[in-house]
Structure 1
Amino acid sequence: MGGVNLEKAKIAFIGTGVMGKSIVKHLLQAGHEVTVYTRTKAKAEELLQFGAKWAETVGQAVEGASVIFSMVGYPTDVEEVFYGSGGILENANSQALFIDMTTSSPSLAQRMDADARERGLYTLDAPVSGGDVGAQNGTLSIMCGGAEEVFERALPFLQLFGKQIVYQGPSGAGQHTKMCNQIAIATGMIGVCEALVYGKKAGLDLDTVLQSIATGAAGSWSLSNLAPRIIKGDFEPGFYVKHFVKDMKIALEEADRMGVALPGLQMAKDLYAELIEEGYGEKGTQVLFMKYKN
Protein backbone atom coordinates (compact mmCIF):
# COMPACT_ATOMS: atom_id res chain seq x y z
CA MET A 1 0.00 0.00 0.00
CA GLY A 2 1.42 3.35 -1.05
CA GLY A 3 2.22 6.00 1.50
CA VAL A 4 0.77 9.48 1.81
CA ASN A 5 2.57 12.70 2.60
CA LEU A 6 0.75 13.59 5.81
CA GLU A 7 2.24 17.08 5.96
CA LYS A 8 0.37 18.23 2.86
CA ALA A 9 -1.79 15.61 1.24
CA LYS A 10 -3.88 16.24 -1.86
CA ILE A 11 -7.43 15.52 -0.76
CA ALA A 12 -10.72 15.38 -2.66
CA PHE A 13 -13.95 15.91 -0.72
CA ILE A 14 -17.28 15.04 -2.34
CA GLY A 15 -20.30 16.58 -0.61
CA THR A 16 -20.18 19.74 1.50
CA GLY A 17 -23.36 19.63 3.55
CA VAL A 18 -23.94 20.57 7.19
CA MET A 19 -21.20 18.28 8.51
CA GLY A 20 -18.96 17.99 5.47
CA LYS A 21 -18.35 21.74 5.42
CA SER A 22 -16.87 21.72 8.93
CA ILE A 23 -14.77 18.62 8.22
CA VAL A 24 -13.24 20.28 5.14
CA LYS A 25 -12.30 23.27 7.28
CA HIS A 26 -10.42 21.01 9.70
CA LEU A 27 -8.52 19.44 6.79
CA LEU A 28 -7.61 22.86 5.41
CA GLN A 29 -6.52 24.16 8.80
CA ALA A 30 -4.15 21.19 9.04
CA GLY A 31 -2.42 22.40 5.87
CA HIS A 32 -3.81 19.92 3.36
CA GLU A 33 -4.77 20.83 -0.19
CA VAL A 34 -8.50 20.13 -0.51
CA THR A 35 -10.53 20.12 -3.71
CA VAL A 36 -14.29 20.00 -3.21
CA TYR A 37 -17.19 18.98 -5.37
CA THR A 38 -20.86 19.34 -4.58
CA ARG A 39 -23.87 19.52 -6.88
CA THR A 40 -24.59 23.15 -6.00
CA LYS A 41 -21.46 25.32 -6.12
CA ALA A 42 -23.11 28.00 -3.97
CA LYS A 43 -23.02 25.59 -1.03
CA ALA A 44 -19.23 25.46 -1.32
CA GLU A 45 -18.57 29.20 -1.61
CA GLU A 46 -17.64 29.58 2.06
CA LEU A 47 -15.07 26.80 1.70
CA LEU A 48 -13.60 28.33 -1.45
CA GLN A 49 -13.08 31.56 0.48
CA PHE A 50 -11.48 29.45 3.22
CA GLY A 51 -8.92 28.06 0.77
CA ALA A 52 -10.51 25.02 -0.84
CA LYS A 53 -10.31 24.48 -4.60
CA TRP A 54 -13.40 23.84 -6.73
CA ALA A 55 -13.95 21.00 -9.18
CA GLU A 56 -16.69 20.93 -11.80
CA THR A 57 -17.04 17.13 -11.64
CA VAL A 58 -16.27 14.23 -9.31
CA GLY A 59 -13.62 13.03 -11.74
CA GLN A 60 -11.92 16.41 -11.75
CA ALA A 61 -11.96 16.51 -7.95
CA VAL A 62 -10.30 13.12 -7.47
CA GLU A 63 -7.66 13.58 -10.16
CA GLY A 64 -4.26 13.29 -8.48
CA ALA A 65 -5.75 12.97 -4.99
CA SER A 66 -4.18 10.48 -2.59
CA VAL A 67 -7.16 10.63 -0.21
CA ILE A 68 -10.81 10.89 -1.27
CA PHE A 69 -13.67 11.58 1.13
CA SER A 70 -17.36 11.39 0.35
CA MET A 71 -20.23 12.52 2.57
CA VAL A 72 -23.38 12.58 0.52
CA GLY A 73 -27.05 11.93 1.21
CA TYR A 74 -28.15 8.44 0.21
CA PRO A 75 -26.67 5.08 -0.81
CA THR A 76 -27.76 5.86 -4.38
CA ASP A 77 -25.63 9.04 -4.19
CA VAL A 78 -22.65 7.00 -2.98
CA GLU A 79 -23.11 4.60 -5.89
CA GLU A 80 -23.28 7.49 -8.31
CA VAL A 81 -20.07 9.20 -7.15
CA PHE A 82 -18.21 5.89 -6.92
CA TYR A 83 -19.47 3.88 -9.91
CA GLY A 84 -20.95 6.56 -12.16
CA SER A 85 -19.47 7.75 -15.41
CA GLY A 86 -16.74 10.17 -14.44
CA GLY A 87 -16.79 8.86 -10.88
CA ILE A 88 -14.21 7.75 -8.34
CA LEU A 89 -13.63 4.18 -9.53
CA GLU A 90 -13.00 5.39 -13.07
CA ASN A 91 -10.79 8.39 -12.24
CA ALA A 92 -8.97 7.87 -8.94
CA ASN A 93 -5.24 7.29 -8.93
CA SER A 94 -3.99 3.80 -8.21
CA GLN A 95 -3.27 3.39 -4.47
CA ALA A 96 -5.67 6.18 -3.56
CA LEU A 97 -7.63 5.85 -0.32
CA PHE A 98 -11.41 6.30 -0.50
CA ILE A 99 -13.13 7.07 2.81
CA ASP A 100 -16.93 7.11 2.66
CA MET A 101 -18.46 8.88 5.65
CA THR A 102 -22.03 8.71 4.34
CA THR A 103 -24.34 6.61 6.47
CA SER A 104 -25.03 3.97 3.87
CA SER A 105 -25.69 0.29 3.23
CA PRO A 106 -23.21 -2.22 4.71
CA SER A 107 -23.59 -4.41 1.60
CA LEU A 108 -22.72 -1.47 -0.66
CA ALA A 109 -19.58 -0.80 1.41
CA GLN A 110 -18.52 -4.41 0.93
CA ARG A 111 -19.18 -4.30 -2.82
CA MET A 112 -17.24 -1.05 -3.26
CA ASP A 113 -14.29 -2.46 -1.34
CA ALA A 114 -14.11 -5.55 -3.55
CA ASP A 115 -14.38 -3.55 -6.77
CA ALA A 116 -11.88 -0.93 -5.57
CA ARG A 117 -9.25 -3.55 -4.81
CA GLU A 118 -9.45 -4.81 -8.39
CA ARG A 119 -8.41 -1.31 -9.45
CA GLY A 120 -5.66 -0.98 -6.83
CA LEU A 121 -7.72 1.36 -4.64
CA TYR A 122 -8.46 1.07 -0.93
CA THR A 123 -11.72 1.84 0.85
CA LEU A 124 -12.87 2.52 4.37
CA ASP A 125 -16.49 2.88 5.43
CA ALA A 126 -16.35 5.51 8.16
CA PRO A 127 -19.78 6.90 9.10
CA VAL A 128 -19.81 9.43 11.90
CA SER A 129 -21.93 10.52 14.84
CA GLY A 130 -21.94 13.81 16.72
CA GLY A 131 -23.98 16.08 14.47
CA ASP A 132 -23.13 19.59 13.39
CA VAL A 133 -21.67 20.40 16.81
CA GLY A 134 -19.27 17.45 16.70
CA ALA A 135 -18.16 18.34 13.18
CA GLN A 136 -17.53 21.97 14.13
CA ASN A 137 -15.60 21.06 17.28
CA GLY A 138 -13.67 18.18 15.75
CA THR A 139 -15.10 15.71 18.27
CA LEU A 140 -16.96 13.29 16.02
CA SER A 141 -17.30 9.60 16.79
CA ILE A 142 -16.10 7.71 13.72
CA MET A 143 -16.95 4.02 13.14
CA CYS A 144 -14.60 2.34 10.71
CA GLY A 145 -14.85 -0.77 8.56
CA GLY A 146 -12.22 -2.11 6.20
CA ALA A 147 -8.81 -3.75 6.25
CA GLU A 148 -6.92 -2.83 9.41
CA GLU A 149 -3.92 -1.51 7.47
CA VAL A 150 -6.27 0.79 5.53
CA PHE A 151 -7.68 2.06 8.80
CA GLU A 152 -4.17 2.82 10.06
CA ARG A 153 -3.43 4.76 6.90
CA ALA A 154 -6.62 6.81 7.27
CA LEU A 155 -6.26 7.45 11.01
CA PRO A 156 -4.08 10.62 10.87
CA PHE A 157 -6.70 12.30 8.70
CA LEU A 158 -9.64 11.13 10.79
CA GLN A 159 -7.95 12.43 13.93
CA LEU A 160 -8.21 15.98 12.53
CA PHE A 161 -11.97 16.01 13.10
CA GLY A 162 -12.74 12.95 15.21
CA LYS A 163 -12.32 12.22 18.90
CA GLN A 164 -13.60 8.66 19.29
CA ILE A 165 -12.24 6.76 16.28
CA VAL A 166 -12.79 3.01 16.52
CA TYR A 167 -11.88 0.21 14.13
CA GLN A 168 -14.92 -2.07 14.04
CA GLY A 169 -13.80 -4.81 11.64
CA PRO A 170 -13.89 -5.62 7.91
CA SER A 171 -15.73 -3.66 5.23
CA GLY A 172 -19.33 -2.98 6.21
CA ALA A 173 -18.61 -3.13 9.95
CA GLY A 174 -18.51 0.65 10.23
CA GLN A 175 -21.93 0.92 8.60
CA HIS A 176 -23.38 -1.82 10.80
CA THR A 177 -22.09 0.03 13.86
CA LYS A 178 -23.71 3.25 12.61
CA MET A 179 -26.98 1.36 12.34
CA CYS A 180 -26.63 0.46 16.05
CA ASN A 181 -26.06 4.15 16.73
CA GLN A 182 -29.12 5.25 14.75
CA ILE A 183 -31.34 2.62 16.39
CA ALA A 184 -30.37 3.91 19.85
CA ILE A 185 -30.95 7.53 18.81
CA ALA A 186 -34.30 6.84 17.14
CA THR A 187 -36.01 5.36 20.16
CA GLY A 188 -34.08 7.70 22.48
CA MET A 189 -35.54 10.77 20.76
CA ILE A 190 -39.02 9.48 21.55
CA GLY A 191 -38.01 9.38 25.22
CA VAL A 192 -36.51 12.89 25.10
CA CYS A 193 -39.64 14.38 23.54
CA GLU A 194 -42.04 12.57 25.86
CA ALA A 195 -40.04 13.62 28.93
CA LEU A 196 -40.25 17.27 27.86
CA VAL A 197 -43.97 17.02 27.10
CA TYR A 198 -44.59 15.48 30.50
CA GLY A 199 -42.47 18.08 32.31
CA LYS A 200 -44.19 20.95 30.52
CA LYS A 201 -47.66 19.57 31.34
CA ALA A 202 -46.62 19.22 34.99
CA GLY A 203 -45.78 22.93 35.07
CA LEU A 204 -42.02 22.45 35.47
CA ASP A 205 -39.30 24.74 34.13
CA LEU A 206 -37.78 22.55 31.45
CA ASP A 207 -34.29 24.08 31.62
CA THR A 208 -34.24 23.29 35.32
CA VAL A 209 -35.49 19.75 34.64
CA LEU A 210 -32.57 19.21 32.26
CA GLN A 211 -30.11 20.21 34.98
CA SER A 212 -31.19 17.12 36.89
CA ILE A 213 -31.98 14.49 34.29
CA ALA A 214 -29.31 15.23 31.66
CA THR A 215 -26.56 14.36 34.14
CA GLY A 216 -28.28 11.35 35.72
CA ALA A 217 -29.04 7.85 34.48
CA ALA A 218 -31.24 9.29 31.69
CA GLY A 219 -28.35 11.30 30.27
CA SER A 220 -27.66 11.10 26.54
CA TRP A 221 -26.18 13.20 23.76
CA SER A 222 -29.67 13.96 22.48
CA LEU A 223 -30.87 15.05 25.92
CA SER A 224 -27.86 17.33 26.42
CA ASN A 225 -27.65 18.80 22.91
CA LEU A 226 -31.07 18.58 21.30
CA ALA A 227 -33.45 18.99 24.24
CA PRO A 228 -32.24 22.60 24.80
CA ARG A 229 -32.95 23.32 21.13
CA ILE A 230 -36.46 21.90 21.50
CA ILE A 231 -37.11 24.13 24.51
CA LYS A 232 -36.04 27.16 22.46
CA GLY A 233 -38.20 26.11 19.52
CA ASP A 234 -35.09 25.59 17.39
CA PHE A 235 -35.73 22.77 14.92
CA GLU A 236 -33.00 23.63 12.42
CA PRO A 237 -30.94 20.66 11.29
CA GLY A 238 -27.85 19.28 12.87
CA PHE A 239 -29.02 16.18 11.04
CA TYR A 240 -31.92 16.15 8.59
CA VAL A 241 -35.12 14.20 9.23
CA LYS A 242 -35.09 13.01 5.60
CA HIS A 243 -31.65 11.45 6.08
CA PHE A 244 -32.62 9.94 9.43
CA VAL A 245 -35.57 8.14 7.83
CA LYS A 246 -33.16 6.83 5.18
CA ASP A 247 -30.91 5.46 7.93
CA MET A 248 -33.79 3.81 9.76
CA LYS A 249 -34.95 2.15 6.54
CA ILE A 250 -31.45 0.72 6.00
CA ALA A 251 -31.38 -0.59 9.59
CA LEU A 252 -34.83 -2.18 9.25
CA GLU A 253 -33.85 -3.81 5.94
CA GLU A 254 -30.65 -5.21 7.46
CA ALA A 255 -32.54 -6.37 10.56
CA ASP A 256 -35.11 -8.13 8.37
CA ARG A 257 -32.31 -9.81 6.43
CA MET A 258 -30.83 -11.06 9.73
CA GLY A 259 -34.21 -12.13 11.11
CA VAL A 260 -34.25 -9.53 13.92
CA ALA A 261 -37.44 -7.75 15.01
CA LEU A 262 -37.02 -4.09 16.06
CA PRO A 263 -40.47 -2.77 17.02
CA GLY A 264 -39.15 0.38 18.69
CA LEU A 265 -37.23 1.36 15.57
CA GLN A 266 -40.26 0.66 13.40
CA MET A 267 -42.39 2.98 15.53
CA ALA A 268 -39.77 5.75 15.37
CA LYS A 269 -39.44 5.38 11.61
CA ASP A 270 -43.21 5.64 11.16
CA LEU A 271 -43.37 8.82 13.28
CA TYR A 272 -40.53 10.45 11.34
CA ALA A 273 -42.04 9.37 8.01
CA GLU A 274 -45.21 11.23 9.05
CA LEU A 275 -43.11 14.33 9.76
CA ILE A 276 -41.77 14.22 6.19
CA GLU A 277 -45.34 14.04 4.88
CA GLU A 278 -46.14 17.07 7.07
CA GLY A 279 -43.30 19.06 5.51
CA TYR A 280 -40.56 18.68 8.14
CA GLY A 281 -38.06 16.64 6.10
CA GLU A 282 -35.54 19.50 6.01
CA LYS A 283 -35.68 20.04 9.78
CA GLY A 284 -33.49 18.48 12.45
CA THR A 285 -34.32 15.20 14.20
CA GLN A 286 -35.46 17.12 17.31
CA VAL A 287 -38.55 18.22 15.36
CA LEU A 288 -40.09 14.93 16.51
CA PHE A 289 -41.35 17.09 19.38
CA MET A 290 -43.92 18.53 16.96
CA LYS A 291 -45.75 15.18 17.02
CA TYR A 292 -46.51 15.90 20.68
CA LYS A 293 -47.22 19.63 20.41
CA ASN A 294 -50.96 19.26 20.79
Structure 2
Amino acid sequence: MSCYTVAQAIAWATSEFADLSDTAKLDAEVLLLHILAKPRSYLFAWPDAQLVGVQYNEFKKSVARRVKGEPVAHIIGEREFWSLPLNVNSSTLIPRPDTETLVEYVLSLTFAEDAQVLDLGTGTGAIALALASEMPAWQITAVDFSNDAVALAQSNKRKLAIKNVTIMQSDWYQSVAGQHFDLIVSNPPYIEADDIHLTQGDVRFEPLSALVALDEGMSDIKNIIDKGRDHLKPGGVLLIEHGYQQAIKLQQYFAQMAYTNILTIKDMSGCDRVTLATWPK
Protein backbone atom coordinates (compact mmCIF):
# COMPACT_ATOMS: atom_id res chain seq x y z
CA MET A 1 0.00 0.00 0.00
CA SER A 2 2.81 2.44 0.80
CA CYS A 3 3.83 2.23 -2.88
CA TYR A 4 0.56 3.74 -4.02
CA THR A 5 0.68 6.67 -6.40
CA VAL A 6 -1.46 9.77 -5.89
CA ALA A 7 -3.95 8.54 -8.51
CA GLN A 8 -4.11 5.04 -6.99
CA ALA A 9 -4.62 6.39 -3.47
CA ILE A 10 -7.51 8.55 -4.61
CA ALA A 11 -9.09 5.70 -6.54
CA TRP A 12 -8.87 3.43 -3.47
CA ALA A 13 -10.34 6.02 -1.09
CA THR A 14 -13.09 6.89 -3.57
CA SER A 15 -14.17 3.25 -3.64
CA GLU A 16 -14.14 3.15 0.18
CA PHE A 17 -16.47 6.17 0.30
CA ALA A 18 -18.78 5.05 -2.51
CA ASP A 19 -21.67 3.99 -0.27
CA LEU A 20 -21.09 6.79 2.24
CA SER A 21 -20.84 10.04 0.33
CA ASP A 22 -22.31 11.70 -2.74
CA THR A 23 -18.93 13.39 -3.19
CA ALA A 24 -16.71 10.34 -2.69
CA LYS A 25 -13.91 11.39 -5.05
CA LEU A 26 -13.86 14.97 -3.78
CA ASP A 27 -13.68 13.70 -0.19
CA ALA A 28 -10.70 11.53 -1.12
CA GLU A 29 -8.95 14.40 -2.88
CA VAL A 30 -9.47 16.84 -0.01
CA LEU A 31 -8.12 14.37 2.55
CA LEU A 32 -5.05 13.55 0.47
CA LEU A 33 -4.26 17.17 -0.36
CA HIS A 34 -4.45 18.05 3.32
CA ILE A 35 -1.87 15.39 4.16
CA LEU A 36 0.38 16.31 1.25
CA ALA A 37 -0.05 20.06 1.95
CA LYS A 38 -0.45 20.63 -1.77
CA PRO A 39 -2.88 22.67 -3.93
CA ARG A 40 -5.53 20.91 -6.00
CA SER A 41 -3.48 21.39 -9.17
CA TYR A 42 -0.96 18.88 -7.78
CA LEU A 43 -3.42 16.03 -8.41
CA PHE A 44 -3.43 16.74 -12.13
CA ALA A 45 0.25 17.59 -12.45
CA TRP A 46 1.65 14.64 -10.46
CA PRO A 47 -0.82 11.71 -10.54
CA ASP A 48 2.06 9.22 -10.66
CA ALA A 49 3.92 10.64 -7.66
CA GLN A 50 4.33 7.97 -5.01
CA LEU A 51 3.24 8.46 -1.42
CA VAL A 52 5.94 7.89 1.16
CA GLY A 53 5.11 5.58 4.06
CA VAL A 54 4.19 8.32 6.53
CA GLN A 55 1.92 10.02 4.01
CA TYR A 56 0.07 6.84 3.18
CA ASN A 57 -0.29 5.84 6.82
CA GLU A 58 -1.83 9.21 7.64
CA PHE A 59 -4.08 8.96 4.60
CA LYS A 60 -5.19 5.49 5.64
CA LYS A 61 -6.11 6.79 9.11
CA SER A 62 -8.08 9.67 7.60
CA VAL A 63 -9.93 7.32 5.26
CA ALA A 64 -10.83 5.05 8.19
CA ARG A 65 -12.29 8.03 10.07
CA ARG A 66 -14.32 9.07 7.04
CA VAL A 67 -15.61 5.51 6.54
CA LYS A 68 -17.04 5.73 10.07
CA GLY A 69 -18.96 8.79 8.92
CA GLU A 70 -16.82 11.53 10.44
CA PRO A 71 -17.09 14.74 8.38
CA VAL A 72 -14.16 15.64 6.17
CA ALA A 73 -14.10 19.10 7.75
CA HIS A 74 -13.55 17.58 11.20
CA ILE A 75 -10.80 15.29 9.93
CA ILE A 76 -8.79 18.10 8.34
CA GLY A 77 -9.93 20.69 10.91
CA GLU A 78 -10.96 23.26 8.30
CA ARG A 79 -13.79 24.31 6.00
CA GLU A 80 -13.86 27.15 3.50
CA PHE A 81 -16.72 29.65 3.76
CA TRP A 82 -17.00 32.76 1.58
CA SER A 83 -13.43 31.97 0.43
CA LEU A 84 -12.24 32.17 4.05
CA PRO A 85 -10.45 29.10 5.51
CA LEU A 86 -12.15 28.54 8.87
CA ASN A 87 -11.01 26.24 11.65
CA VAL A 88 -13.76 23.80 12.62
CA ASN A 89 -14.32 21.23 15.34
CA SER A 90 -17.11 19.24 16.93
CA SER A 91 -18.23 22.13 19.17
CA THR A 92 -20.12 23.88 16.36
CA LEU A 93 -21.90 23.37 13.07
CA ILE A 94 -19.74 22.99 9.99
CA PRO A 95 -20.31 26.09 7.79
CA ARG A 96 -22.39 25.21 4.75
CA PRO A 97 -22.63 26.80 1.30
CA ASP A 98 -26.36 27.48 1.78
CA THR A 99 -25.50 29.98 4.52
CA GLU A 100 -23.60 32.05 1.97
CA THR A 101 -27.08 32.97 0.68
CA LEU A 102 -27.53 35.08 3.83
CA VAL A 103 -24.15 36.77 3.46
CA GLU A 104 -24.71 37.50 -0.22
CA TYR A 105 -28.11 39.06 0.38
CA VAL A 106 -26.90 41.20 3.29
CA LEU A 107 -24.19 42.63 1.05
CA SER A 108 -26.82 43.59 -1.53
CA LEU A 109 -28.60 45.80 1.03
CA THR A 110 -27.71 49.38 1.92
CA PHE A 111 -26.66 50.25 5.46
CA ALA A 112 -24.74 53.07 7.10
CA GLU A 113 -21.03 52.95 6.33
CA ASP A 114 -20.31 52.29 10.03
CA ALA A 115 -23.28 49.97 10.56
CA GLN A 116 -23.65 48.19 13.89
CA VAL A 117 -24.23 44.47 13.29
CA LEU A 118 -25.09 41.54 15.58
CA ASP A 119 -24.55 37.86 14.69
CA LEU A 120 -26.49 35.55 17.03
CA GLY A 121 -25.19 31.99 17.47
CA THR A 122 -21.99 32.64 15.56
CA GLY A 123 -20.48 29.14 15.82
CA THR A 124 -17.24 29.21 13.84
CA GLY A 125 -17.77 32.93 13.25
CA ALA A 126 -18.52 32.25 9.58
CA ILE A 127 -21.21 34.85 8.96
CA ALA A 128 -19.66 37.59 11.09
CA LEU A 129 -16.19 37.12 9.63
CA ALA A 130 -17.47 36.95 6.06
CA LEU A 131 -19.37 40.21 6.49
CA ALA A 132 -16.44 41.84 8.28
CA SER A 133 -14.04 40.85 5.51
CA GLU A 134 -16.26 42.60 2.96
CA MET A 135 -17.28 45.61 5.06
CA PRO A 136 -14.29 46.67 7.19
CA ALA A 137 -16.03 49.81 8.49
CA TRP A 138 -18.91 47.83 9.99
CA GLN A 139 -18.72 47.11 13.70
CA ILE A 140 -19.82 43.52 14.22
CA THR A 141 -20.64 41.78 17.48
CA ALA A 142 -20.80 37.97 17.32
CA VAL A 143 -22.17 35.91 20.21
CA ASP A 144 -22.63 32.25 21.05
CA PHE A 145 -23.89 30.41 24.12
CA SER A 146 -21.09 27.83 23.90
CA ASN A 147 -17.74 28.85 25.36
CA ASP A 148 -16.06 26.33 23.04
CA ALA A 149 -17.70 27.96 20.03
CA VAL A 150 -16.62 31.41 21.23
CA ALA A 151 -13.02 30.18 21.52
CA LEU A 152 -13.20 28.69 18.02
CA ALA A 153 -14.63 31.87 16.50
CA GLN A 154 -11.93 33.91 18.22
CA SER A 155 -9.26 31.61 16.79
CA ASN A 156 -10.69 32.18 13.31
CA LYS A 157 -10.70 35.94 13.86
CA ARG A 158 -7.01 35.82 14.77
CA LYS A 159 -6.18 33.47 11.90
CA LEU A 160 -7.82 35.80 9.37
CA ALA A 161 -6.51 38.99 11.06
CA ILE A 162 -9.97 40.54 10.98
CA LYS A 163 -10.25 43.49 13.36
CA ASN A 164 -13.84 44.73 13.20
CA VAL A 165 -15.51 41.82 15.01
CA THR A 166 -16.05 41.44 18.76
CA ILE A 167 -16.82 37.87 19.86
CA MET A 168 -18.35 37.06 23.24
CA GLN A 169 -20.35 34.47 25.15
CA SER A 170 -24.05 35.22 25.40
CA ASP A 171 -27.40 33.49 25.72
CA TRP A 172 -28.82 35.15 22.61
CA TYR A 173 -29.25 38.87 23.45
CA GLN A 174 -28.22 38.62 27.11
CA SER A 175 -24.76 40.20 26.77
CA VAL A 176 -25.91 43.03 24.50
CA ALA A 177 -28.65 44.40 26.78
CA GLY A 178 -29.45 48.00 25.92
CA GLN A 179 -27.60 47.91 22.60
CA HIS A 180 -29.27 48.59 19.25
CA PHE A 181 -28.20 47.44 15.80
CA ASP A 182 -28.73 48.34 12.17
CA LEU A 183 -28.62 44.66 11.26
CA ILE A 184 -29.11 41.39 13.14
CA VAL A 185 -28.32 38.05 11.47
CA SER A 186 -28.63 34.50 12.74
CA ASN A 187 -28.39 30.86 11.70
CA PRO A 188 -30.10 29.41 14.80
CA PRO A 189 -31.17 25.86 15.64
CA TYR A 190 -34.28 25.12 13.58
CA ILE A 191 -34.58 21.32 13.22
CA GLU A 192 -37.29 19.31 15.00
CA ALA A 193 -35.99 16.84 17.60
CA ASP A 194 -37.44 13.82 15.75
CA ASP A 195 -36.19 14.81 12.29
CA ILE A 196 -34.78 11.70 10.59
CA HIS A 197 -31.92 13.71 9.08
CA LEU A 198 -30.35 13.98 12.54
CA THR A 199 -29.31 10.33 12.22
CA GLN A 200 -27.71 10.76 8.81
CA GLY A 201 -24.52 12.22 7.38
CA ASP A 202 -22.33 14.87 8.96
CA VAL A 203 -24.93 16.13 11.44
CA ARG A 204 -24.38 13.00 13.55
CA PHE A 205 -21.05 14.55 14.55
CA GLU A 206 -22.36 18.06 15.22
CA PRO A 207 -23.81 19.34 18.53
CA LEU A 208 -27.56 18.85 18.84
CA SER A 209 -27.79 22.16 20.70
CA ALA A 210 -26.81 23.93 17.49
CA LEU A 211 -29.32 21.99 15.41
CA VAL A 212 -32.48 21.23 17.37
CA ALA A 213 -35.18 23.57 18.67
CA LEU A 214 -38.54 22.96 20.34
CA ASP A 215 -41.93 24.05 18.95
CA GLU A 216 -41.41 22.28 15.61
CA GLY A 217 -37.97 23.89 15.32
CA MET A 218 -39.34 27.41 15.84
CA SER A 219 -38.62 28.19 19.52
CA ASP A 220 -35.25 29.91 19.06
CA ILE A 221 -36.39 31.64 15.89
CA LYS A 222 -39.41 33.11 17.68
CA ASN A 223 -37.24 34.25 20.57
CA ILE A 224 -34.85 36.02 18.17
CA ILE A 225 -37.73 37.73 16.34
CA ASP A 226 -39.56 38.70 19.53
CA LYS A 227 -36.58 40.16 21.41
CA GLY A 228 -35.09 41.58 18.24
CA ARG A 229 -37.65 44.38 18.51
CA ASP A 230 -35.75 45.65 21.57
CA HIS A 231 -32.38 45.59 19.79
CA LEU A 232 -33.04 46.90 16.28
CA LYS A 233 -32.74 50.56 15.42
CA PRO A 234 -35.79 52.01 13.63
CA GLY A 235 -35.48 50.76 10.07
CA GLY A 236 -33.12 47.99 11.19
CA VAL A 237 -33.19 44.61 9.45
CA LEU A 238 -33.30 41.07 10.90
CA LEU A 239 -32.30 38.09 8.71
CA ILE A 240 -32.71 34.49 9.84
CA GLU A 241 -31.64 31.28 8.13
CA HIS A 242 -34.22 28.49 8.47
CA GLY A 243 -35.43 25.17 7.15
CA TYR A 244 -36.92 24.95 3.66
CA GLN A 245 -40.44 24.33 5.00
CA GLN A 246 -40.47 27.09 7.62
CA ALA A 247 -40.71 30.26 5.52
CA ILE A 248 -44.47 30.73 5.93
CA LYS A 249 -44.23 30.33 9.70
CA LEU A 250 -41.46 32.93 9.87
CA GLN A 251 -43.36 35.35 7.68
CA GLN A 252 -46.45 34.98 9.84
CA TYR A 253 -44.54 35.45 13.09
CA PHE A 254 -42.65 38.47 11.77
CA ALA A 255 -46.01 40.03 10.85
CA GLN A 256 -47.50 39.12 14.22
CA MET A 257 -44.58 40.90 15.92
CA ALA A 258 -45.26 44.04 13.83
CA TYR A 259 -42.27 43.84 11.47
CA THR A 260 -42.64 45.10 7.92
CA ASN A 261 -41.09 44.47 4.47
CA ILE A 262 -41.06 40.71 5.07
CA LEU A 263 -39.24 38.73 2.37
CA THR A 264 -37.95 35.17 1.88
CA ILE A 265 -34.81 34.41 -0.16
CA LYS A 266 -34.08 31.10 -1.86
CA ASP A 267 -30.71 29.34 -1.71
CA MET A 268 -28.68 28.04 -4.66
CA SER A 269 -30.84 24.91 -4.75
CA GLY A 270 -34.04 26.92 -5.07
CA CYS A 271 -35.19 26.21 -1.51
CA ASP A 272 -36.51 28.86 0.87
CA ARG A 273 -33.49 29.56 3.11
CA VAL A 274 -33.47 33.07 4.61
CA THR A 275 -36.36 35.27 5.73
CA LEU A 276 -35.83 38.93 6.59
CA ALA A 277 -37.92 41.79 7.88
CA THR A 278 -37.58 45.43 8.92
CA TRP A 279 -38.37 46.97 12.29
CA PRO A 280 -40.45 49.98 11.29
CA LYS A 281 -39.26 53.56 11.75
Q: Could you tell me the TM-score, scaled by structure 2's length?
A: 0.37
Greater Rg by CA: 2
- Which structure features the higher share of helix residues? 1
Q: Could you tell me the TM-score, scaled by structure 1's length?
A: 0.36
- Which structure features the higher share of strand residues? 2
